[in-house]
Structure 1
Amino acid sequence: MEEEFNFDFSDDAQRSVERYEEMLRNQDQYFFDAHAFENIIDFYIEKNDPVKALQVTEYASNQHPYAAVFPVKQAHLYVATEQLELAFQALEKAEMLEASEPEIYVVRGNIYANLKRYNEALDNYHKALDMADATDEILLQIAFVYEKMMDYESAIVYIKRSLEQNMENKDGLYELAFCYDILDKQEESIKFYQEYIDKDPYSYAAWYNLANSYHKLDLFEKAIDAYDYAILIKDDFASAYYNKGNALVQLDKFAEAIQVYKQTFEYEKPDADTYCAIGECYEKLERMDEARSYYKKSVKMDSTMADAWFGIGVTLNFEERYFESLHFYRKAIDLDEENPDFWFAMADAYYKLGQMDKSAVAYEKVLEYNPVDVEAWLDYSTLLYELGKLREAADTISEAIKNNPDAAELYYRMVAYLFALGESDEALIYLETALVTDPDKHYILFEYLPQLQENGLILEVINKFMR
């Protein structure tokens, strides 16, 4: 049974293909004009059969030895089959036949770009620019080379030139967004897309990229408005729904976000990321059964979704099923060993189960991967304090302060530990530092050790700073 193909060939083109295949069956030699050969070559390219397409280019070159189009097509096919030396040879032949054909230099530029010979690639693209009538795609190729060279400023220049010629080029709009993002120039990005939309208000890609720029600047309301415009223009734009859902999450609008995430399923197949995002929203709404259901859907679809395994553990932890939660935290850590949030959750679960040694090991992992997590330092020191390791607790807070010198909570906690160790003079020095850093948080000291409210020295120092 012959395979069916859904490309739109004219009747003449179809007859050319049939006649060519008849020639092969009869082991004969038929004559085809150059246009017919191009159609036959394109047919086999569409069928993803580069070997047969190359065979046609041989026949075509023999019958039309002065037509540059066939060695150019050969070069394309040699590139596709990773025969780069033959591709270069074909391009040399094409250049001898018709040196003003821009496609020769585009293909050669592509080969050099893939070989990371960027300057030679740029030289060829610029030759093509001088010869071509339509240059928007060539300008975009130049931009891609500059991106590979990590010269994003130059890439932006060429992408903009490309878009000036073809405002419908969605690839250009997305590449521009990528370059602005790398350079962290969201304000410039917003200005460009606003000006672009003034010229082409129905460009869903421009609205989408504008929304993403707002999103990166934490302007979530504006981002949502721009995503809505993108969706209004292209109502099956699944990525816009997904990112709008993410923006709603940032505004704590979790129920709305769930509905928007689910809308993506109308336009593309559900994926593990979206299931996980919905699970997180249900988790934030404390609807743990539904959260767990979506997390399970996520890991069933993609067993490497660490966040979803972690999410299952969080829902169990919420229900005080600490021992069960540990299994899922371990699954998450196996996939993402350096994630401090996963280790923090595991440390907390072990602590609640009274397995202090294992909790301590997990806290050390948290702090190894995220030494600026003030809460983790405080919790770890609490664990040490409860184990009667007062000096280790104080040393831990000392290390915490080195990593977080502006965190008043740490200084107040150090005061408590030093008083517990009987080192009141040093404790008062830390107290003064804490009050200078943030006097309004002095209540933390009394929450941790209520008996210090009766300490005259402490009250005297606090009153001096609170006047």
Structure 2
Amino acid sequence: MALQPNENNEDSVLKFESMLKTDDVYFFDADDFEGIIHHYLNHGKVSLGKKAIQIGLQQHPHSVELKLLRVEVLVFEDDFKQAELLLDDLQTIDSNNEEIFVQRANILSKQDDHQGAVNMLLEALHMADDSFDIYSLLGMEYLFMDDFEQAKNSFIKCLQLDESDYSSLYNVIYCYEFLEDFDGAIVYLNDYLERNPYCEVAWHQLGKMFFTKGMYKEALTAFDFAIISDESFLGAYFEKGRVLEKLGKYNEAIESYQTTINIDDPTSHAYLRIGRCHERLGNDDLAKYYYYNTVHEDPLLDKGWIAITEFYTKKKDYKKAQRYINKAINIDGENALYWKKSAKIFVALNNLDEADFAFKQTVDLGNYELDTWQEWAVVLQKLNDYHSGVQVLLQGLEFYPDNAEMCYQLSGLYLKTDQIALAKEKLSDALQLNSEKAVFFKKKFPEYSNVKWVKDIFTENKKAST
């Protein structure tokens, strides 16, 4: 029972499923089977797709297209050996079929042989009448190889064939960004917009490039054109708000963020930006209101908890600040900066044991900033754990060997641990690095300022410098 020519793909799928449920056998054209198989594969119904391929090949055993669809499923299931055997047979029948080379490229790509995949796709290009999909696949293979220049050129080829393909446009700009060729991206987008003046995506991307370069007025214009092209373009309103923040126009920025909430459901990111704007305007109650809305909307947004932490830190309400930094750490416990904020808050609360632990976590997670070592050493000094303080400063000096303050600090801790020779050596080093900062030693370790040998070193250094 053949399907009539005017019956569409949906009718074919319904008849095929009806056939599977009964003992009836229907005849489908090879093209109908292709449509049925694509329908199932596109909807993730692989088992039904395989069934359609099996029946299709029973009715059309010589169909190259149906055999290629079988190869596609075999590749999807990582049955590369069987797929290769079938491709070898197909190539003897139709050696100029580009899809054979595309499928070979898919196999090589899944085996992480991306250069081999590229070679196969280049072969396919010589045979293809419609090369859009092949250039798109080439672009992805080049991305796998981190060859962003070639990837960019491949996606540009896609856009030359179909300027409405926004996926390719995004990929082109992604490549420009990775290459840090923001000027090149701006030139490309301006050229693209000459031909597509109402493309909101291109205006949006152009605005982001201007923003990256700090060209805020130009970025603002680009985002306005994106909004003119599509008044419901949430991303453009949000990015416009960020630009207005940079220009210090906080009320206008709030209005732009508020528009995103009016158009669609509220987002935690919009609430967060509005809160920051109100904080900069000195509207503390409104800032707090929007910060709390941020974490209510998305309790797992650590940046929301950090914003509240910083809000209370500025107010010197360290107990509340500590409560909220803990929430951020519970979400992202691998963030060294969160642990550092926690450490500083514990110092303000005079909870030195917890501060010591937080600084240790900070360093273990890779934060080696100068003040991290210095402040941690101060905490250990207050805890009378001078030996640990010495070890912390020695580690810090590996990163900052010419830092005079750490040398003065280390000299004082050597004195605390009765390592006089090392204290003298490090004090001399500190004076040579920066004698003007000797006041740092006298302020941190006043009990040693009148020790004879300490006074002698200061005197000798003063004479040598005159």
Question: Which band: TM-score by shorter chain?
Answer: 0.7 to 0.9
CA distances 1:200-256 after superposition (whole Å, capped 9, x unpaired): 333333222222222333333333322222232233322333333333444444443
CA–CA distance in structure 2, aligned partners of residues 295 and 82 of structure 1: 48
Q: Do 1:411 and 1:434's aligned partners in 2 also have CA atoms closer than 8 Å?
A: no
Q: Do 1:351 and 1:359's aligned partners in 2 also have CA atoms closer than 8 Å?
A: yes
After TM superposition, the structure 1 = structure 2 runs for residues 57-96 of structure 1, keeping only pairs within 5 Å, are: 57-80=53-76, 83-96=79-92
Shift, 1:326, TM fit:
1.4
CA–CA distance in structure 2, aligned partners of residues 261 and 111 of structure 1: 46
Aligned pair in 2 of structure 1 residues 298, 81: CA closer, same or farther (>3 Å)?
Answer: farther
CA–CA distance in structure 2, aligned partners of residues 222 and 408 of structure 1: 45
Aligned pair in 2 of structure 1 residues 319, 173: CA closer, same or farther (>3 Å)?
Answer: same
Given candidates 106, 109, 131, the residue that maps to 1:135 is 131
After TM superposition, the structure 1 = structure 2 runs for residues 246-257 of structure 1, keeping only pairs within 5 Å, are: 246-257=242-253
CA–CA distance in structure 2, aligned partners of residues 292 and 192 of structure 1: 42
Shift, 1:149, TM fit:
1.2
- Aligned position for 2:37: 41
SS at match of 2:324: helix
Q: Do 2:75 and 2:106's aligned partners in 1 also have CA atoms closer than 8 Å?
A: no
- Aligned position for 1:200: 196
Shift, 1:27, TM fit:
1.7
Q: Does 1:182 align with 2:178?
A: yes
CA–CA distance in structure 1, aligned partners of residues 28 and 54 of structure 2: 13
Q: Does 1:28 align with 2:28?
A: no
Q: Does 1:114 align with 2:134?
A: no
CA–CA distance in structure 1, aligned partners of residues 96 and 434 of structure 2: 75
CA distances 1:414-452 after superposition (whole Å, capped 9, x unpaired): 9999xxxxx9999899689669xxx9x999999999xxx
**Which moved further from structure 2: 48-57 or 78-87?**
78-87
CA–CA distance in structure 1, aligned partners of residues 23 and 231 of structure 2: 54
Aligned pair in 2 of structure 1 residues 54, 310: CA closer, same or farther (>3 Å)?
Answer: same
Given candidates 304, 317, 326, the residue that maps to 2:300 is 304
Q: Do 2:407 and 2:429's aligned partners in 1 also have CA atoms closer than 8 Å?
A: no
Q: Do 2:308 and 2:321's aligned partners in 1 also have CA atoms closer than 8 Å?
A: yes
Q: Do 2:118 and 2:138's aligned partners in 1 also have CA atoms closer than 8 Å?
A: yes
Shift, 1:144, TM fit:
1.0
Q: Percent identity?
A: 25
CA–CA distance in structure 2, aligned partners of residues 90 and 404 of structure 1: 63
- Aligned position for 2:345: 349
Aligned pair in 2 of structure 1 residues 393, 72: CA closer, same or farther (>3 Å)?
Answer: closer
Aligned pair in 2 of structure 1 residues 211, 101: CA closer, same or farther (>3 Å)?
Answer: same
CA–CA distance in structure 2, aligned partners of residues 133 and 318 of structure 1: 65
CA distances 1:287-327 after superposition (whole Å, capped 9, x unpaired): 44444444444444544322222223233334443223212
Q: Do 2:104 and 2:120's aligned partners in 1 also have CA atoms closer than 8 Å?
A: yes
CA RMSD of aligned residues (A): 4.7
Q: Do 2:261 and 2:270's aligned partners in 1 also have CA atoms closer than 8 Å?
A: no
TM-score of the aligned structures, taking structure 2 as reference length: 0.75
- How many positions carry a matched residue from both structures? 452
Q: Does 1:50 align with 2:46?
A: yes
Could you tell me which amino acid in structure 2 is paired with residue 71 of structure 1? K
Q: Does 1:215 align with 2:222?
A: no
Q: Do 2:318 and 2:345's aligned partners in 1 also have CA atoms closer than 8 Å?
A: yes
Shift, 1:402, TM fit:
6.4
- Aligned position for 1:5: none
CA–CA distance in structure 2, aligned partners of residues 361 and 320 of structure 1: 22
Could you tell me which amino acid in structure 1 is paired with residue 150 of structure 2? S
Structure 2 stretches lacking a partner, 5+ long: 414-422, 446-457
Shift, 1:132, TM fit:
1.2
Aligned pair in 2 of structure 1 residues 330, 264: CA closer, same or farther (>3 Å)?
Answer: same
**Which moved further from structure 2: 74-83 or 193-202?**
74-83
- Aligned position for 2:335: 339
CA distances 1:318-342 after superposition (whole Å, capped 9, x unpaired): 4443223212212222333343432
Could you tell me which amino acid in structure 2 is paired with residue 56 of structure 1? A
